[in-house]
Each structure stands twice: as C-alpha cells, then as structure tokens.
Amino acid sequence: MAFKIPPRMQQARRHAGSSLWGMAEYFAYPLMMFAATPLFLYLLGSEQYGQWMLLLTFNGFGGLAGIGMGTAATKDVSAARGRGDEAGVAAAIRACLMVTILSTMALALLMVTIGWFVGPDLLAKMGSPDLVRTIIIVAALLILLEQIDSVFAGALRGLERFDISAKAEASTKLALVLVSLAVAWKTGDVVAVFWATIAATFVRLSVKALAVRHFIGQTPWPAFDRPRMAEAFAFGKWTWAQSLGAAMFSTADRLIVGSLLGAHALAAYSVCLQLAQQIQTVPAAGAQFLFPAVSRSRAAGESYAPLAIRASLIIGGMSLLLALPVALFSHLILSLWVGQEIADAASVSLSLLAIGFAVLGLNVGPHFVLLGAGRARFVAGINIVAGIVATGCAFFAIPDQGLIGAGAARIVYAVVICALIFEMRRSLINKNSKTA
C-alpha cells in the first residue's frame, strides 16, 4: 500500500518550497552585487559609484508612485483564486496595471519638474548640475518600469508561482550585473551604466509579463475598470502609505548623507546598506508566501494562526543568525570586501545597521500576516510613524555623528516597527476567541 502524505505535511512542503524560491529570488541579486561591488568601485571610482547609488536612492520613491499596486495585485489575485474566480484574476491584474501607469507617470512628471530646478542646488556635492538632472530623469524612467514590473511580480505571487518569479528575477538581474560591469569596463562612465540599468529593467518586466500571460491564458493589458481599480486602490492606498513611511526614511538618510557628506560618504554608506539590508531582505523574501497564503485562507474561511506563528518565529530567528557575524566582524568583512579605507570609515555604522535590520527581521512575519489578514491600515500607520521618528533622528544625528548617526537612526526605525509583533498577537487572539 502506497504511503500517503498527510494534507498538513503537503501544505507545509508547498509553503517551504515557496519560501525557498522567494529567498532565491531576492538573494540572487545581492549575492551578485556583493561579488561585483569591488569591481564597480575599481572601474567607476567611489565618486561615480556614489552617483549610481544616488540614482538607486531616488528609485526608492517608486513605492510611492505605484500606490501599492504590486501588493494589491497579490491580494486580489490570491483572494480571487480562493473564491474560485478565474476571470477575477485577469481583471485584477489589468486594473492594477492601469492604476500603476497613471499614478507613476504623474509622480515621474512631478519628480522631473521639481528636480530640474531644485536638484542641482540641494545635491551640489554629488556632481555637476547636468549630471544631477540626468540622474533625476533616469530615475523617473526607472521608477515607471520598476512599478509595472512590481504588478507582474505581485500577480505571480498571488498565483503562488514563486518559482517562476524567482527564475525570471534571478536570470534578468544576473544579466543586469554582467551588462553593467561590461559597460563600466568599456566606458568608465556612470551615465552609460544608468542606461544599461534601464534596458535590463525593461527586459525583466517583459519576462514576467510573458509568464503571467502563460498562467492566466491571456495578455494582461491594462484596462480602465473603475470598480476593480477602486477595489485595488482601497487596499493599495494603505500599502502606499506604508511605502511612504518606508521611503521617508530609507531614502531620507541616504539623501542627507549625500547632501551633507558628499558622494564618497554616500558610496561607503551604500556599501554598508547593501550588505546589512540582506539581514532582513532575505528572510522577508522567504516569508512572502505568508501574504497570499493568509489572504487565500481568510477568503476561504480557513484558520491561518498556526502557520502565522511558526513562520514568524523561523523567519525572525533567521534574521538574528544572519545579523550576528555582520555586527561582530564588520571591520574585517569590509576590509576583505571593499578595502581598508571604507572599513575604517564605516565599520561601526555597519554594525549598527546589522542590529537595526535584525530587529526589522523580527517583524517580517507579522508584517505579511497582517497584510493578508486585512490589517494594511495598521501596517501603514506604524511605518509612517517610524519613518517620521527615524527621519527626525537622522536629520539631527548625521550632521553630528556622520555615518554612525545614520546607522543609529535605522535602529530607531526598527524599534518603532516592533508594534507589528504585538498587533499580530492581538489579532490572532481575537480571531481565536471569535472562533471558539
């Protein structure tokens, strides 16, 4: 008689597979950049590398442009699947695409208009006025492409095809790194690297669009569907508000470093961030399956509390394990990776960043559980409060303490975010008490 795998074990195996693919998707690019960063610093120099990081800093505003449609696509697609509404899957993707294109184009136009006149004065230490304007224009175009990509990525997560999303992301990001390295080696010009980034991003979103088309059986062109756009916006606005809080700080500290301390300091700080943020990003990628799983279970009337608790504990423990060696051996890691000069200037900041991202990692599970449980409003509110508090701390700490102040401000942000843990606990207790 053949051995039958129990349903609960089958479910756990499916979630484990989704988690591993999610981590593979997000770990591939940081790993490639970790290996390539010393080469980029050598080929471009620290000043041009810092200017490239400024472009990516502006790209952090992309979450504001998309009004949370990537996350809304995940929720609406997974909920439609939970209801057995196959037509609703395609309609949700089309509506999210339309909202994204309209909102992103509006923000990009505003960004270019303001940046053209104000940017060169605010960022005078980052380079010539023409270069600063070029960075802003390229950033606006990159934001548009990235946000369209986020809808297709969100749709794949809603379909729970983390394997396809991971393969598309990893392969195209590898192409981005290789092409950027080749361009940097051939030209030594950071602006040429900018345009290589744009080209690779367009290819990445095209690959994901084709994957979504394959799974839903039709081309997901954007459509002006007012009721579905309103439904997507009703959820996405809270994700947008959450992105506002995150962008408020995750870009503010780098802009403060760049404007007050210059391109060389921003290059050193960006190197530290590139490493430290993986302490949270890699576990967060592994926890992405929680959002569609909880959303689908909630739509189907099933319990998700055991999954939420176990996954949150595992993901939080992973963050702590990743943080420990980085916090303890920051100077040695930077010395071996990018050289003694950056290690001497930024090792303490890296240790502080490792602590901050470890604390953020404890909140990854609660974050996705609360989104899937329909508590996006609370998640958004806490992110905004954390962003305001941490930005204020960075504004006062960076001029006085330099990169150490920037790292300390990240810890402040993480501590405020810990409210998510207590809210998830309260939410699960209330759900259980209502069920009993």
**pLDDT at residue 249 in the model:** 63
Q: What is the 3-state secondary structure (H, E, C) of the chain?
A: CCCCCCHHHHHHHHHHHHHHHHHHHHHHHHHHHHHHHHHHHHHHHHHHHHHHHHHHHHHCCHHHHCCCHHHHHHHHHHHHHHHCCHHHHHHHHHHHHHHHHHHHHHHHHHHHHHHHHHHHHHCHHHCCHHHHHHHHHHHHHHHHHHHHHHHHHHHHHHCCCHHHHHHHHHHHHHHHHHHHHHHHHHHCCHHHHHHHHHHHHHHHHHHHHHHHHHHHCCCCCCCCCHHHHHHHHHHHHHHHHHHHHHHHHHCHHHHHHHHHHCHHHHHHHHHHHHHHCHHHHHHHHHCCCHHHHHHHHHHHCCCCHHHHHHHHHHHHHHHHHHHHHHHHCHHHHHHHHHCHHHHHHHHHHHHHHHHHHHHHHHCHHHHHHHHHCCCHHHHHHHHHHHHHHHHHHHHHHHHHHCHHHHHHHHHHHHHHHCHHHHHHHHHHHHHHHHHC
pLDDT at 19: 53
In this prediction, residue 435 carries a pLDDT of 47
User: By C-alpha distance, which of 233, 211, 105 is closest to 159?
Assistant: 211
Whose tokens are 């304007």? That residue is: 133
* pLDDT for res 416: 93
Residue 189: inside a domain, yes or no? yes
pLDDT at position 1, please? 41
Domain count along the chain: 1
**Residue 398 in domain:** yes
What's the pLDDT at 365?
87
Query: Can you give the pLDDT at residue 3?
Result: 40
Examine residue 3 and state whether it is found in any structural domain, yes or no: no
Per-residue tens of pLDDT for the chain, all 436 residues: 444 444 444 454 555 555 555 555 556 666 777 778 888 888 998 888 888 888 877 776 666 666 778 878 888 888 888 787 888 888 989 999 998 899 888 888 888 888 888 888 888 878 888 998 999 999 899 989 988 998 998 898 888 787 777 777 778 888 888 899 999 999 999 999 999 999 988 998 999 999 999 988 888 888 888 888 888 877 776 666 666 666 666 677 888 888 888 888 888 898 899 889 888 887 887 777 787 778 777 777 777 788 888 888 888 999 999 999 999 999 999 999 888 988 998 999 999 999 999 999 999 889 888 888 878 788 888 888 888 898 888 888 998 888 999 999 999 999 999 999 998 888 887 665 454 4
2 part of a folded domain? no
- Specify if 42 maps to a domain: yes
Alpha helices in 287-329 (DSSP H): 290-300, 305-328
- Whether residue 1 lies inside any domain: the answer is no
Domain residues for 139?
8-435
